[in-house]
Chain A
């Protein structure tokens, strides 16, 4: 057989094509200094995030100290912070903050997983069958602009204020996003990837599993990322209207009692959890589709 081709030179070749090796390492001095400057400013850019957060907190503290609003309506950050331990131990309205966080998190997790389990296969079905697409797409396009919140009274009438209506609200918000992104992902599969498999004798189900699904995965994950955000918003809003526990309920309950500090804490928790969910899916993305944007 043919001898292996010149591996030493290949090593050099691969190094220069390795995406980890940036322009910094191989180009002339000019570029090098530019890159070094870029490196220094990266640290500065990161610091700026904290600076802004700190400034906002100070601004808040200043507003509170200046009594722009009565202290009861705008407690200072320090007052709010003091309320946190009590919220965790004693709680508010009969349950601790942890319970409310737990209730909301379980709801979003369950609703989201069901939404993905329905949305991804539905998207694949719609992408591969025009009949299915024409049947389901108008429904989706109709549901999408309707704020899921507008459906809450209906859901509560039918299913009560229990978990079923919460799950449905999340799904109404999440499924269309997941479906549309899945369809885009399937349709976006480069034709040559499919042809390569066809030429190797792959059946259509093998092509679906081994070529189209992995090709669509980056888009599906994008859909999941956007979808979980939408679902979270829908859930909290639904909890505001009709619930007996959860972060949305806590905001509503504290609002009625003018417990502004608790509202702040609940909102902070809502934001942080939303941020964490987004981060989790981004980590999932990094683990599952490291090739995204590189191939």
Chain B
């Protein structure tokens, strides 16, 4: 269980730059095995929030607890998948997937078995010995997901994981992630700027306001699982999407307004991405 309690985050200024407030009192709870999507205008601090849960920084104020323990740094209980796969180019695809196991000293038969299991799950068997740069974007991201999941973390933090993929690959990856999640049931915090994706995947959709970010609305997604991609075409889905957008639209506009105000000051985006 993840418990985010009144978290504030201010990036310190300096050398003529103003301090940038990124988060303004965020409260959020994720139950075990829950899939929560976070959407918001760019620069609203949604990635910052995810990074704080990952332990890449400490909030200026407030606490983040995972299973009752304060987050003090990154740990193997919280896997992170970034927008860029960030695979290690000096390792083969299989070695990348097995990286976490090796870190923990796993060798031999069990190592091989687990790696080939995950290669199979990801449909990457044929590419086990390939170098990461020989893979397509979608395949790379699947390998990155496998690398994150192989140590069986209870929590998966996904920071716009499909944002860099083309539309069709993104659809495939969404379906793929849904299947994977149904099997492994990790708790997922999924940051995206794609409203449709957020609704399709999440148990809840959390909409954040423009910077400094706080939670504007926390919406339960009413659709039963398993969900198929054509769900997005139903009137019910469109209605939920309309709800989310009605909250998000004004925020997008005020984000644009803010952007105009900030231009020239050099306070671009989330500093921590």
Binding site for B on A (CB under 8 A): 1-2, 4-7, 10-11, 13-14, 16-19, 190, 192-193, 195-202, 206, 210-211, 214, 217, 289-291, 294-295
Contacts and interface: CB of A to CB of B under 8 A. Distances in A.
Given A4-B123, A206-B103, A294-B89, A19 B134 contact: yes
A13 B139 contact: yes
B103 A201 contact: yes
Nearest to A217: B90
A197 to B, nearest CB: 7
Contact of B99 (A2, A13, A200, A291): A200
Contact of A7 (B76, B87, B123, B144): B123
A289 B133 CA distance: 13
Contact of A199 (B54, B130, B134, B137): B54
B151 A200 contact: yes
Contact of A11 (B75, B122, B126, B137): B126
Contacts of B89: 291, 294-295
A200 B100 CA distance: 5
23 contacts: A1-B117, A2-B176, A4-B122, A4-B125, A5-B142, A13-B139, A14-B135, A17-B135, A17-B136, A18-B134, A192-B86, A195-B54, A195-B82, A195-B86, A198-B73, A199-B79, A200-B151, A202-B103, A210-B103, A214-B90, A289-B90, A291-B131, A295-B132
A205 to B, nearest CB: 11
Contacts of A19: 133-134
B88 interface: yes
Contacts of B142: 5
Contacts of B86: 190, 192-193, 195-196
Interface string B58-77: 00000000000000011110
Contacts of B121: 1-2, 4
Nearest to A6: B123
Interface string B138-172: 11001010011001000000000000000000001
Contacts of A1: 117, 120-121, 183
A291 B76 CA distance: 28
Contacts of B26: none
B96 to A, nearest CB: 9
A295 B89 CA distance: 6
Contact of B139 (A14, A199, A214, A294): A14
A196 B147 contact: yes
A7 B124 CA distance: 8
B78 interface: yes
B254 interface: no
Contact of A198 (B74, B90, B147): B74
Contacts of B87: 295
B30 interface: no
A199 B99 contact: no
A31 B123 CA distance: 34
A281 B139 CA distance: 33
A19 to B, nearest CB: 7
A199 B90 contact: no
A14 B136 contact: yes
Contacts of A206: 103
Contacts of A214: 88, 90
For the complex of A and B, the 9 pairs showing the least CB-CB separation, nearest first, are A201-B76, A291-B89, A295-B89, A5-B123, A200-B100, A198-B74, A4-B123, A192-B86, A13-B136
B150 to A, nearest CB: 9
B21 to A, nearest CB: 23
B80 interface: yes
Given A4-B120, A202-B103, 12 more contacts: A4-B125, A5-B172, A13-B139, A14-B139, A19-B133, A196-B80, A196-B144, A199-B80, A200-B151, A201-B76, A290-B131, A291-B133
Contacts of B123: 4-7, 10
A14 to B, nearest CB: 6
Given A7-B126, A13-B139, A200-B151, A192 B120 contact: no
A203 B56 CA distance: 15
Interface string B107-133: 000000000010011110111001111
Contacts of B73: 198
Contacts of B78: 199
A53 to B, nearest CB: 37
Nearest to A288: B90
